[in-house]
Amino acid sequence: MKILSLSALILLPLISSGMLFFPFFNTIRKIRCFAQISASIHFLYMLLFLAMYNPFSPESALSEVYKWIEPLGISFSLSLDGISLICAVLTSFVFLMAIVASKHHIKEHQRFYYSMVFLLQAAVLGVFFAHDMFLFFMFWELELIPMYFLISIWGSGKKEASAMKFLLYTFGGSIFMLMSILGLYYCHYVQTGMLTMDMDYIGLYNDYPEIVKYLAFVGFFVAFGVKLPVVPLHSWLPSAHVDAPAPVSMMLAGVLLKLGGYGLIRVNLFFFPDIFVKFAFAVFVLGIINIVYASCVAFVQSDIKRQVAYSSISHMGIFLVGLGALNAVGMCGAVFQMVSHGLISSGLFMVIGMIYLRTHTRDISLLGGLGKVLPGIYYLTLVVVFASIGIPLLSGFPGEMMSFFGAFISENELVRHFVFAGMAGVILTPVYMLNMVRGVFGGVLFEKFKKIERMHVHEAVVMISIVFLIVLTGVYPGSIMKIFAPMIENFFSI
């Protein structure tokens, strides 16, 4: 049995989430150690995939097809390409960090918590590797359940309301997706008489009637727009982040937003390239609105977690700008931005989790002057904040740079003219980011924060590994680029 099998990759978290319920794990320590060990095994196994992947050989797609529901043409088929590999590696990394970080945040029901986390990981990996539309949709829905429990049980504030809001928003979105999938499925059957859900057949078959293609495109776009918060559909994100515990919002921001982005690329762009050209300017404008709108709103927020939530919306705006550019440079920029945003936002939420753990408040006006008391956290936060602003030699910069360069080269006339509005984000992001840092770390220290304890070891490990990756991708972006760049280039060459 060849060692690199995608289904094994998805089954591993499922098994470990099941095993957690054995009576053997009776103490909290055992549960936590098992969770950390299995997460790191999963990450190492994923690194093996990364090492063995060379984008040019055809068999690197590691596609596996198992019969599932034969009459309906639905098969349990998984496959791999550059973008899904990068997203998967990011996923397992962020999950490992979140699990390690959730030592102090989760006080009760640890067993149930870690099994939910692993279930979520399996579902997300499933989405990235699914090669069958039905499977894609199933994993898409599956990842909602654990996330709902994670927010509503261990959250704070009005957690049930925001968990429900998160669920309803994504459900609403996925209804559109289901309609589009079934629409394609039916049209494909009517025209070719072959009943199949496989992405290659349904997706790449492109003489559907024009109206069906438009509707399917819009349907998919709405579903992924909800997930990758596009501005009008974004109001679930801040409330979900504010009420979720820190490790969960790390996972939420680090990974779940990538689902939307990955979906946009894999489904909207690869299935309907001709329609995407028509909608390119709309996507671009949405990106601009995302950037400017979210930055302005973030500036006024009083809760730092809500600010970081809005910052991740403005980061994904840059992703949309890169995507709207519709050329290889823009696309590479968009995918790079996705990866770097995953790292940055998980780092930021980790920091906020640490601060909340010590000061039990997230209101900027109440915090102040923590720099002197928590120097370690202060310096690491500085690096992450500067990465999110887009300082060169840190991971935020290449993504932003390539997206804007791509937008400038795009053959769509309007996109070229409005790219400067997107660049306004370059000024707006530091405004609220540094304001937050100044509010939390600078200024005079309140006496009740005098004696908070320093950074714990496991928090230091998490933060340093995140910072290390941010600096690595920033200094030498080629390391990641050579994985997904060839795939994007040959897509745009046709």
Q: Which amino acid, one-letter code, is at 478?
A: G
Q: How far is the CB of 51 from another protein (least distance, A)?
A: 22
Helix (H, G, I), strand (E, B) or coil at 74: strand
Tokens 């956290």 -> residue: 377
- Which of residues 279 and 404 has its CB atom nearest to another protein in the complex? 404
Shortest distance (Å) from residue 470 CB to another protein: 14
Total residue length of the chain: 494
CA atoms within 13 A on the CB side of 156: 17
Name the region of 172 (left: φ>0; alpha: ψ -120 to 50; beta: rest): alpha
For residue 75, is it left (φ>0), alpha (ψ between -120 and 50) or beta?
A: beta
Choose between 130 and 231: whose C-beta lies nearer to another protein.
231
Residue showing tokens 């190492």: 44
The footprint of another protein (CB under 8 A) covers 231-232, 234-235, 293, 296-297, 299-301, 328-329, 332, 369, 371-372, 376, 378-379, 382, 386, 389, 391-393, 397-398, 401-402, 404-405, 408-409, 419-420, 423-424, 426-427, 430-431, 434-435, 438, 441-445, 464, 476-478, 481, 485, 489, 492-493
Q: How far is the CB of 438 from another protein (least distance, A)?
A: 5
Closest CB to another protein among residues 55, 376: 376
C-alpha 324: how far from its chain's center?
19
Distance of closest approach, residue 151 Cβ to another protein, in angstroms: 18
Closer CB to another protein, 17 or 412, in the complex: 412
Q: Which CB, 78 or 419, lies closer to another protein?
A: 419
Between residues 135 and 294, which has the closer beta carbon with respect to another protein? 294
Compute the distance between CA of residue 265 and CA of residue 328 in angstroms, rounded to an integer.
12
By the 8 A CB rule, do 27 and 107 touch? no
- Find the shortest distance in angstroms from Cβ 382 to another protein: 8
| Contact criterion met (CB below 8 Å) for 233 and 226 | yes
Shortest distance, position 69 Cβ to another protein, whole Å:
30
- Give 31 or 331: the residue with its C-beta nearer to another protein: 331
Nearest distance from residue 43's CB to another protein, in Å? Answer: 24
CB of 165 to another protein, least distance (A): 8
SS percent in the chain: helix, strand, coil, step 5: 75, 5, 20
Task: Between 203 and 273, name the residue whose CB sits nearer to another protein.
Answer: 273
Residue 335: exposed, middle, or buried by beta-carbon count in 10 A (0-12, 13-18, 19+)? buried
Burial class (CB in 10 A: 0-12, 13-18, 19+), 329: buried
Hey, how many other C-beta atoms are within 10 angstroms of the C-beta on 100? Answer: 20
Output the six-digit token pair for 298.
């973030």
* Token pair listed for 175: 């209804």
